[in-house]
Amino acid sequence: MITVLAFIVTIGLLVTIHEYGHFLVARLCGVRVLRFSIGFGKPLLIRKFGKDQTEFVLAAIPLGGFVKMLDERELKAERELKAEQESQSDLSNKSQLATQLTAGNCFVLVTVYARCHRLTPNNRSGRRQ
């Protein structure tokens, strides 16, 4: 039972880091994020934060997640509600889109690398022995 629980917690942590990479790069590129969700199924917790009122969701099954960004279809409706959205970058810039799609995997890689090369009491220099 502990093994199953440890697996779920580990996958949940990796999913969170992965999705945060997408979230962070989208925000840095000026794309509005509508929802940051960890898990699938029925939402257990929903909170809105920030000036954009991004929804942060924790769902029942933490084995996946997603970041919902403002796309062209929603952008038209959003422009009617807020004039400031016209200055937002759209997803037609292919380099931005490629960066956003690979960011999640890069964050997982950096986290795993940092974890494998952490300083230990016997190895204060940070070099692997």
Task: Tell me the whole-structure pTM to 2 decimals.
Answer: 0.60
The pLDDT of residue 82 is 61
Confidence of residue 40 (pLDDT cuts 50, 70, 90): confident
Over the stretch 63-114, which tens digit does the pLDDT of each residue have? 889 999 887 666 666 666 665 444 445 545 666 666 767 777 777 777 777 7
Question: In whole numbers, what is the pLDDT of the chain averaged over residues?
Answer: 77
Catalytic-role residue among 19, 72, 74, 84: 19
d(CA 118, CA 85): 42
For 126, residues 6+ apart whose C-beta sits below 8 A from its C-beta are 117, 119
* Known catalytic membership, residue 19: yes
Q: What is the 3-state secondary structure (H, E, C) of 55-80?
A: EEEEEEEEEEEEEEECCHHHHHHHHH
Residue 47 has pLDDT above 90, yes or no: yes
